[in-house]
A and B are shown apart, each in its own frame.
Chain A
Amino acid sequence: MECTLDAQSLISISLRKIHSSRTQRGGIKLHKNLLVSYVLRNARQLYLSERYAELYRRQQHYPDGAPLLAMPACPPPAAAAPPELAGLPLPADTQDREARSCAAVRGGAELLEVPVCAAPPELQRAPCRDSSPGFYRAAGSAGPGGGGSTPPGLLYAAGCDFGSGGAPHCSSRTTVLDLDTHVVTTVENGYLHQDCCSQCPCCCQPAPGLASPPPTPGTKRKYSPGQEEEEEEGVEEGEPGGGGVAGGPPFAPCTKRARFEEYSAEHPQDSSNISNLISIFGSG
């Protein structure tokens, strides 16, 4: 079944739906937001596999594993060689476990971010279908880590990629949807190193809370409390709607944003995609 939108557009649309659900009458609809988060997860999985495939192709041209972008290199992880990478959990899922929802609402400026992480090829072959639905979190919110320098009124889907073969580098890409102009911008260099790696245990030391050793792919993953994926923003203690910071271990979201590059020439259709999205299907 084909979809007329690419994964990135679906992520943007989904984030927009979640965002607008907060202001709808009757409070946040738990059911609808849960379903949207499944679409978000599915689109993200496709996005990751596409992103990784592209990265892998580029890796073929740069066998030394030099960083794609001018970023400080991450320290190599303990398990650097490809066979040992198989012992790591899917970064997407690991990251999911660590993401926290800082569902604070600051006036009208609400920020949602979907960090995504490409998986090394060995792991990519075993996409996890039954992981919890996608997550998002507020960047620069009132959660631990304090306010960020992000301008208000923007939605993010960010990518943090790892190469295969050992030395991961934090090339990253961020898709920003400006809620006022509806312009989508894709930027490289979206992350600073420490912000990226604070979420990615395969890059650096495991973030606090991830005490147990990562299970091998295919084994049942045990979730300890506080490490689960966020399923929805704005829901805490079962209360529908309202803001508030969710509980869980302290977690510093990516609060710093590097300067943004100009609108990438790789995606000339992004803004027209957005305006297409707004048009209503149907009625002839």
Chain B
Amino acid sequence: PLAGFGSLMQDVLWCFSQVKGTIDIGVTEADIISTVEFNHTGELLATGDKGGRVVIFQREQESKNQPHRRGEYNVYSTFQSHEPEFDYLKSLEIEEKINKIRWLPQQNAAYFLLSTNDKTVKLWKVSERDKRPEGYNLKDEDGRLRDPSMITMLRVPVLRPMDLMVEATPRRVFANAHTYHINSISVNSDYETYMSADDLRINLWNFEITNQSFNIVDIKPANMEELTEVITAAEFHPHHCNTFVYSSSKGTIRLCDMRTSALCDRHAKFFEEPEDPSNRSFFSEIISSISDVKFSHSGRYIMTRDYLTVKVWDLNMENRPIETYQVHDYLRSKLCSLYENDCIFDKFECVWNGSDSVIMTGSYNNFFRMFDRNTKRDVTLEASRENSKPRAILKPRKVCVGGKRRKDEISVDSLDFSKKILHTAWHPSENIIAVAATNNLYIFQDKVN
């Protein structure tokens, strides 16, 4: 059902569907979710966490017997993707935290995804096994070898059904190509290549080749003392396999065409909005740093997230975004405190819905925000256990900025800054969203009207 396409946000009532994760008061750091991603059909939902684990959920087939259990997501596979490593040469510990997961489009029965930590990208194959061979001649059912002299007749092994087993195997390991911390991976629309981006460089890989990659962007200055900006995110165009964008800590986006030269240091387009001098502060550079960049599904727009806003850019207009949405502007007067407690460095992601009509991003206090690009309306919702009754409709939340606080509003000073929604995902074609709140994954769906 393509209920999501074309529907206006105000027509959608978001309901709680599921929550995954424990309710413990104390959160184990390893359980903190660090990335969330639907696959191309929305059948699978993957999460990565700080402990280096990947958990994949699969949507149940809808059944006529239980229509209210519309496509619940249940655990499909869990595996340890990355382990902590130690770089002895540099005396550095390499965190196992999964920074990003990206799915490959499905081409056969198996599923493939890329997962990356700070240094190493891995290609995982997730496949099902529901049959096994039985009736070997040289070994019995337990696997013990039989004495050949005791065998009196031969038989042909047959495949018999077994309980479904989902196994994940690492098919490729792309290592030793990044000096700095990897922040992004992106699969190309040719499905043969992908790129990985760190603070200063972007590399292009072929899925089949692990011992070399092409460096396509290098912004490292000859003298590191001249460094003024780093790469913060990168993504391939959804349709044009020669085009990609990368964002910087200075709030700029560069679009590059790989056909022009091998090293794409010269951009084809440069997107930058002039700074508003009246907003100048100690922290202007920090809050203008872009934390995420995403192409629209159509490929006509890019969306960027900086600390306080989400912006939509038209690829044909470089001098300013076409839309700017305030996520939590009430924090502008709190930047000093947010700098002290490091919250100002939080990297929020942003996502498009399937029809590119609504965009979503997270905030603090487990709030997340949606903006309808057509009606210009926005809504703030909360991922919390209190609103977690099955099919309970989420009530819009409001932050009171000053003056009288209404009954249902929450004041800025009461916000819990330890509860941050950094990672969200939107189903490619339906109104189903996954919201990561620290160690819990919330799944919300629209109410079936």
Q: Which residues in A have some Cβ–Cβ distance to B below 8 Å?
A: 1-5, 10, 13, 17, 25-27, 29-32, 34-35, 38-39, 42-43, 46, 101, 132-133, 135, 223, 225-226, 228-232, 235-242, 246, 248, 277, 280-284
Contacts and interface: CB of A to CB of B under 8 A. Distances in A.
Contact of B341 (A26, A34, A46, A281): A281
Contacts of B332: 1
Given A27-B92, A241-B92, A231 B228 contact: yes
B179, B227, B343: most-surrounded residue (chain A CB, <10 A): B227
B90 A241 contact: yes
A10 B416 CA distance: 24
Interface string B193-232: 0000001100000000000000000001011111111101
A2 B333 contact: yes
Interface of B: 90-95, 97, 118, 179-181, 183, 199-200, 220, 222-230, 232, 249, 279-286, 289, 332-343, 345, 364, 413-418
A182 to B, nearest CB: 14
Contacts of A282: 337, 341, 343, 364, 413, 415-418
Given A1-B279, A25-B93, A13 B335 contact: no
A30 B230 contact: yes
Given A3-B282, A239-B179, A35 B90 contact: no
A224 B416 CA distance: 48
Nearest to B277: A129
B351 to A, nearest CB: 22
B224 A235 contact: yes
Contacts of B225: 101, 132, 135, 228-231, 246, 248
Contacts of A17: 342
Contacts of B333: 1-2
Nearest to B226: A228
* A interface secondary structure, majority: loop
8 contacts: A5-B336, A10-B282, A10-B336, A26-B97, A31-B289, A43-B282, A240-B180, A282-B417
A281 B249 contact: no
Nearest to B231: A31
Contacts of B179: 238-240
A231 B417 contact: no
Nearest to A229: B225
Given A132-B226, A230-B225, A241 B282 contact: no
A31 B336 contact: no
A281 B417 contact: yes
Nearest to A3: B336
Contacts of B289: 31, 35
A79 to B, nearest CB: 27
B222 A225 contact: yes
B232 A31 contact: yes
B90 A27 contact: yes
A279 to B, nearest CB: 9
A206 B90 CA distance: 36
A38 B181 contact: no
B220 to A, nearest CB: 5
A223 B222 CA distance: 12
Most buried by A among B181, B200, B225: B225
A42 to B, nearest CB: 5
A34 B417 contact: no
Contacts of B95: 25-26
Given A26-B92, A26-B94, 8 more contacts: A3-B281, A4-B336, A34-B249, A35-B345, A101-B225, A240-B90, A242-B91, A281-B337
A277 B280 CA distance: 23
A280 B341 contact: yes
A114 B416 CA distance: 34
Given A26-B118, A281-B417, A283-B416, A31 B92 contact: no
Given A3-B281, A232-B224, A283 B340 contact: no
